[in-house]
Amino acid sequence: MRVLVTGASGLLGRTTATALAARGDDVTVLQRRPSGTGCREVLGDVADAVAVEKAARGQEVVLHLAAKVDVVGPLVEYERANVAGTRTVLAAARRAGAGRFVHVSSPSVAHAGRPLVGAPADPADPDRARGHYAATKAAAEQLVLAADSPDLAALAVRPHLVWGPGDTQLVARLVDRARSGRLPLLGPATALIDTTYVSDAADALVAAVDACGPGAHGEPLVVSGGEPRPVGEVLERVCRAAGVPPPRRRLPVPLGLGAGTVVDALWAATGRRDQPPLTRFLVEQLSTAHWFDQRRTRALLGWTPAVGLEEGFARLGSWYADGCPAV
């Protein structure tokens, strides 16, 4: 099968592209810098129609992961990468005659800050999503699902809190904050959260590439490991695996929300690009439950996670102990 993977320089995109190639698919990858996958590469931005057209030519399936994933930066940058970029990739997929489009989204597109307890994959809502990333990913998901048709089966997959060795988004940021003493426990830190080990998330995306079609299309599916744990436990296990002190300082949730709101406003007003010490989104993520009903996802994709939390933390600890080699 001829598959285009966008965003293969990121951990999940690289792992998925490699898995597709390893099973014999003809994989092309599109991103702004070399991916190290060994696949045919087209370097470019997803909002660049010429580069996207070149990458999409002759493809049967498009797996779209490329996105701006951050907590800082003006809205226009998120809109260009996440909304305009998705629109450009969709248009190229149609012109190329691709029959399947798998869009990698995020559970944050349907998270309005309230606890999510065994939640289904509710519809994406740009107006209620928290922050530029979530709002623009929600708008992008709506574009993709609206494009679902007999000629182009479209499916949105939302991996939840992907982590593992080499992760620069979740693990590295938690570890950096813990090392500098800037990772508080919000309130009792007992809210249950679910996560997804990176190879499990990649396997789910491979399964989505196969399943996307008459039986699975036109809807979002949340992917997670299915092992909810208290947020305090997850933070402690990540820190111990990395060899840094786990968080001990507690911050009342109302105080954290207030401080995060002030910091968000300050970073927006000054245009700062460094990582803020706290954001309202981070406080909400660390103080509210968010775990999801996986029954429909697993039934439609025919997928179950293979790496449990214990094995995942053991692998993460071994990676740090080996000096964090490239993955």
For 140-176, the pLDDT digits (tens) are 999 999 999 999 999 999 999 999 999 988 899 899 9
- pLDDT at position 122, please? 93
- pLDDT at position 265, please? 84
**CA distance linking residue 93 with residue 101, whole number of Å:** 8
Please give the residue that has the higher pLDDT: either 250 or 267. 250
For residue 327, pLDDT beyond 90:
no
Q: Any idea which residue has 């025919």 for tokens?
A: 302
Burial state string for 103-118 with b = 16 or more CB within 10 A and e = fewer than 16: bbbbbbbbbebeebee
Q: In the annotation, is 133 catalytic?
A: yes
For residue 267, pLDDT beyond 90:
no
Element spanning 202, H or E: helix 198-211
Strands (E), 32-167: 40-43, 61-64, 100-104, 116-119, 153-159, 162-163
- pLDDT at position 191, please? 95
- pLDDT at position 119, please? 92
Three-class secondary structure assignment of 271-292: CCCCCCCCCHHHHHHHHCCEEE
**Domains in the chain and their CATH numbers?**
2-166+196-227+291-307 (3.40.50.720)
- pLDDT at position 41, please? 96
For residue 113, pLDDT beyond 80:
no
Mention every residue, 6+ apart, whose C-beta is less than 8 A from residue 292: 107, 116, 118, 119, 120, 121, 160, 194, 222, 224
Question: What are the percentages of helix, strand and coil residues in the chain, rounded to 5?
Answer: 45, 15, 40
As a whole number, mean pLDDT of residues 224-247 equals 95
- pLDDT at position 19, please? 97
| DSSP state letters, 22-39 | HTT-EEEEEESS---S-S
Distance of CA 266 to the CA centre of its chain: 26
As a whole number, mean pLDDT of residues 22-38 equals 95
As a whole number, mean pLDDT of residues 106-133 equals 90
